[in-house]
């Protein structure tokens, strides 16, 4: 275990460090907090720190901060909590108004406090750890009596700094907080590519990059969720970096609502990376002696390219976001009823399906949509979480008992945040629906959104779900969320006299409150996050749900791109991957059973198949897959993920691996989408992460290979048919793949 250190010198310099990184803050000449450095660990004394912050020259075109110092301007200063308008014209982190007029805050350093651990608090998602250096820096504007506390946490095992800010109003009047970003990182150059994960439903987290230039590059969501279209994880990758070499900074938000992440380059080619709640559609009424705390942001650093940054992000999430209860436990292999039955749920048929699932080795049978109300299609019954007695005449408890009697865990699908127009809940509480009393109101997927800003709504849903959980002795919940928020208006907020601009943040706080209630009462229940697939794949949900449904698109080809993008910001242990039928429901493509497994195995494995209609040979193959996955699950979920060329450069081929900490075991996946004639016979894949002094046995091969050969020459891949080698080719046609398991001798 590496150690953290906090060095405070004369309350002017604050230096957080561990074996991997340093983060340095200094009090600037005007009393505000300046950013000095974030990168590889530095060893510095007072004189060296003074030299780091010594002014070189005033930049051209600046406005001086005060009449007392004509050399100092905030326009070209690296800052920790910038405020727009006081000689700094870049995007600010903080913005308040009093009686409609902006406050140009002068937040001067006051004091600091420290802590040596950061507990897990279930009511609010955030990073946690028994060992940490926590630094809290208090700044204050004495004119407006506004205080801010900047929170920093550095864990011993992570190249990541966790940041947030608490703003308190000590004045006698109310203020309106209109902007409260979680973190700002100012960098001295603009020699980076801005990387983000963009897409849409069924094409989430596609890797996009753009060169930085004078101006702003931004990704954001105003969907009420982190969204299918964008993701809170972004990165700045040095222009000379490769997949495995060079500098890269990352930023992510431990939050599931509206967000904005941007990289702004000013006229001197300085870069400001910011992340936090989207200022649009946000405002918070700060009454006297009340406070607001932003969501936590994670700032990451790697000097080993995008692969190294992905590893830092994965390790951080595995150790400091995912619940300790699930960090070291095996995850169940589920059989989900959806593609086998859809809404046509017959207990006798489902129990036969569960029997087949037990025979091939699954751990958990999940009853998906259609078990409640009068739910025969997706246009009814949301909000009425009582069993449909037409389908389950003996009750859901009896069905669950039958599943448990087979030695299987039992899971259920819920969509707690939604309500159908004809439900009993909406008839009893029409004011619980998001939307204004007058004017238009959109309907998405035949449903409305419940007002989770209202605590009574949260309590009602908890009570409904609690009764079902108790009756079924539930083991697993699939928590879905299938439409975004439109016409955002809360009758509850109007009733209690709060601004409507508080709605989106209060909504996601309500979602977190329901998670917290359920997990407090049922700590052993595994909740899998889902939002129309991957529409809310973020660290906020991961804090409560140790795994998240990656995408509604389960096609193996599309999943390669989606899982690649997801792996840049999130661990394999978070990725729920199901092997489904062909032709695939989302794209109509038919891929081999082996490829579907070879893609899905890098994550948490599950199945959505009608096992009762499969051949004995296919069932045997599925059983063998599950045996193989169980043997590798510890390695997959807790090993180090490695991205390998040509991934990211060649859209036809992907390669990656996972290796244990001792470098004695590795699982390699290679995928080729379309066959190409004329390819060389001796394809090899370099494995630079192995121990060059070790000998490795490749499963299924007789001759060991040295680690030095695997690192520098490469692992031989199965021979692909190239048009002229039918006698030696072992893989032929489109959609080919292989898994190669290596063990040190």
- Conformational region of residue 404, where left means phi above 0, alpha means psi within -120 to 50, and beta covers everything else: alpha
Active-site residue identified among 186, 363, 451, 480: 480
- Pairing state between β 234-238 and 248-253: antiparallel
CA distance 588 to 601: 22
Using CA of residue 451, residue 456, residue 459, residue 461, what is the dihedral sign?
Answer: negative
For residue 170, the SS3 value is coil
Give catalytic status of residue 480 as yes or no: yes
For residue 169, give the 3-state DSSP assignment. Answer: strand
Tokens coding 399:
């069905």
The conformation of residue 228, written as its DSSP 8-state character, comes to S
Q: Tokens standing for 579?
A: 């092997």
- DSSP-assigned beta bridge partners for residue 195: 209, 235
Phi/psi-derived region of residue 678, left when phi > 0, alpha when psi is between -120 and 50, beta in every other case: left
Q: How much of the chain is in helix, strand and coil states, percent to nearest 5?
A: 25, 30, 45
Q: How confident is the model at residue 1, as a pLDDT? A: 44
Residue 677 has a pLDDT of 85
DSSP 557: H
Helices marked H in 529-592: 539-544, 556-567
Q: Per residue in 240-264, is it b (16+ CB within 10 Å) or e — as a string?
A: ebebbebbbbbbbbbbbbbbbbbbb
pLDDT at residue 440, rounded to an integer = 87
Strands 604-608 and 575-580: parallel
Three-state DSSP at 596 gives helix
The pLDDT tens digits for 388-400 are 999 999 999 999 9
Q: Phi first, then psi: what are they for 626, rounded to 5°?
A: -65, -40
Q: Which residues of the chain have pLDDT under 50?
A: 1
Q: Which helix (H) or strand (E) holds 670?
A: strand 665-672
Nearest to 339 by CA among 53, 554, 601, 64: 554
In whole angstroms, give the CA distance from residue 52 to residue 38.
13
Task: For residue 719, give the DSSP letter.
Answer: P
| Residue 682, token pair as written in the block | 């001796």
**What contacts 116, CB < 8 A, 6 or more positions away?**
131, 132, 133, 134
Q: Closest Cα to residue 336, out of 318, 361, 357, 309? A: 357
Find out whether 718 and 725 touch, Cβ atoms under 8 Å.
Answer: no
- CA distance linking residue 675 with residue 104, whole number of Å: 62
pLDDT of the residue at 682: 62
Could you write out the DSSP letters of every residue in 431-471?
GGBSS-SSS----BTTBEEB-TTSHHHHHHHHHHHHHHHHH
Mark whether 727 is an active-site residue.
no
Long-range contact set of residues 168-172: C-beta below 8 Å, sequence gap at least 24: 168/286, 168/289, 168/290, 168/291, 169/145, 169/286, 169/287, 169/288, 169/289, 169/290, 169/291, 170/145, 170/146, 170/288, 170/289, 171/144, 171/145, 171/146, 171/288, 172/288
For residues 658 and 665, what is the distance between their CA atoms, to the nearest angstrom? 8
Q: What is the per-residue pLDDT across 461-509, written as a single tens digit (0 to 9) for each? A: 999 999 999 999 999 999 999 999 999 999 999 999 999 999 999 999 9
Return d(Cα 360, Cα 627) in angstroms, integer. 9
Pair of tokens at residue 237: 């990758």
CA-closest candidate to residue 444, choices 531, 515, 342, 505 = 531
Residue position matching structure tokens 């439900």: 423
Q: Are strands 695-698 and 234-238 parallel, antiparallel or unpaired?
A: unpaired
Residue 65's closest CA among 106, 33, 34, 94?
106
**Beta bridge partners of residue 210, listed in sequence order:** 194
Distances in Å between the alpha carbon of 377 and those of 296, 372, 414, 551? Answer: 39, 11, 15, 21
What is the model's pLDDT at position 2? 57
Query: Measured in Å, how far apart are the chain's first and last C-alpha atoms?
Result: 27
Q: Are strands 175-187 and 94-98 parallel, antiparallel or unpaired?
A: antiparallel
Residue 721 is predicted with a pLDDT of 87
This prediction has a pTM of: 0.97
Cβ neighbours for 331, distance < 8 A, ≥ 6 positions apart: 526, 546, 547, 573, 604, 633, 637
Catalytic residue among 133, 157, 552, 553: 552
Q: Which residue in the block uniquely carries the two structure tokens 């029409």? A: 430
């Amino acid at each position: 275990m590496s150690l953290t250190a906090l060095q405070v010198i004369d309350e002017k310099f604050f230096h957080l460090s561990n074996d991997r990184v340093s983060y340095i803050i200094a009090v600037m000449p005007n009393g505000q907090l300046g950013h000095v450095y974030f990168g590889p660990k530095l060893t510095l004394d007072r004189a060296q720190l003074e030299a780091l912050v010594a002014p070189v020259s005033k930049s051209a075109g600046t406005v001086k901060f005060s009449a007392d110092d004509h050399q100092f301007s905030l326009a070209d200063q690296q800052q920790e909590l910038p405020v727009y308008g006081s000689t700094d014209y870049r995007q600010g982190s903080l913005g308040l108004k009093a009686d409609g007029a902006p406050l140009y805050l002068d937040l001067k350093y006051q004091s600091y406090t420290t802590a040596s651990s950061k507990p897990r608090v279930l009511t609010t998602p955030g990073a946690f750890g028994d060992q940490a250096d926590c630094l809290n820096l208090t700044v204050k504007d004495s004119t407006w009596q506004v205080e801010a506390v900047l929170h920093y946490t550095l864990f011993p095992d992570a190249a990541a700094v966790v940041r947030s800010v608490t703003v308190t109003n000590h004045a006698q009047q109310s203020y309106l907080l209109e902007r409260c970003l979680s973190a700002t990182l100012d960098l001295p150059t603009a020699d980076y590519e801005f990387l983000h994960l963009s897409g849409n439903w069924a094409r989430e987290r596609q890797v996009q990059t753009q060169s930085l230039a004078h101006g702003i590059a931004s990704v954001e969501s105003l969907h009420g969720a982190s969204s299918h279209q964008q993701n809170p994880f972004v990165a700045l990758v040095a222009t000379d970096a490769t997949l495995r070499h060079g500098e890269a900074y990352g930023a992510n938000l431990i939050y599931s609502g509206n967000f904005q992440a941007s990289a702004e380059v000013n006229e001197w080619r300085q870069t400001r990376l910011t992340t936090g709640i989207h200022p649009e559609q946000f405002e918070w009424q700060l009454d006297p002696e009340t406070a607001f705390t932003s969501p936590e942001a994670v700032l990451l650093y790697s000097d080993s390219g995008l692969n190294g940054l992905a590893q830092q992000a994965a390790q951080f999430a595995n150790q400091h976001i995912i619940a300790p209860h699930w960090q070291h436990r095996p995850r169940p292999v589920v059989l989900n009823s959806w593609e086998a039955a859809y809404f046509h749920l017959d207990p006798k048929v489902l129990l036969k399906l569960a029997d087949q699932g037990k025979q091939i080795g699954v751990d958990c049978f999940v009853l998906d949509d259609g078990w409640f109300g009068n739910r025969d299609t997706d246009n009814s019954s949301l909000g009425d979480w009582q069993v449909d007695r037409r389908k389950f005449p003996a009750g859901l408890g009896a069905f669950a008992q039958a599943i448990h009697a087979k030695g299987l865990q039992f899971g259920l699908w819920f969509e707690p945040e939604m309500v159908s127009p004809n439900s009993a809940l909406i008839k009893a509480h029409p004011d619980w629906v998001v939307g204004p009393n007058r004017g238009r109101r959109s309907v998405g997927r035949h449903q409305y959104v419940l007002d989770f800003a209202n605590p009574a709504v949260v309590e009602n849903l908890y009570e409904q779900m609690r009764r079902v959980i108790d009756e079924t002795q539930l083991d697993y919940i699939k928590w879905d969320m299938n439409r975004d928020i439109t016409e955002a208006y809360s009758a509850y907020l109007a009733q209690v006299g709060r601004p409507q601009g508080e709605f989106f943040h209060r909504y996601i706080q309500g979602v977190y409150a329901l998670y917290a209630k359920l997990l407090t009462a049922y700590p052993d229940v595994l909740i899998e996050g889902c939002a129309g697939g991957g529409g809310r794949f973020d660290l906020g949900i991961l804090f409560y749900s140790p795994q998240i449904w990656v995408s509604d698109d389960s096609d193996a080809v599309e999943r390669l791109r989606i899982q690649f993008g997801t792996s840049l910001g999130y661990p394999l242990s978070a990725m729920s991957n199901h092997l489904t039928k062909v032709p695939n429901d989302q794209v109509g493509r038919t891929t081999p059973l082996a490829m579907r497994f070879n893609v899905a195995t890098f994550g948490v494995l599950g199945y959505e198949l009608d096992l009762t209609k499969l051949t004995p040979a296919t069932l045997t193959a599925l059983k063998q897959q599950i045996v193989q996955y169980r043997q590798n699950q510890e390695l997959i979920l807790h090993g180090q993920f490695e991205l390998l060329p040509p991934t990211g450069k060649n859209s036809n081929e992907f390669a990656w691996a996972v290796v244990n900490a001792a470098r004695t075991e590795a699982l390699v996946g290679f995928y080729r989408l379309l066959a190409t004639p004329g390819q060389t016979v001796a394809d090899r894949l370099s494995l630079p992460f192995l121990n060059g002094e070790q000998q490795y046995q490749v499963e299924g091969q007789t001759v060991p290979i040295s680690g030095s050969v695997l690192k520098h020459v490469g692992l031989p891949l199965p021979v692909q048919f190239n048009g002229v080698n039918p006698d030696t080719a072992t893989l032929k046609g489109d959609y080919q793949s292989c898994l190669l398991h290596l063990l040190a001798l």
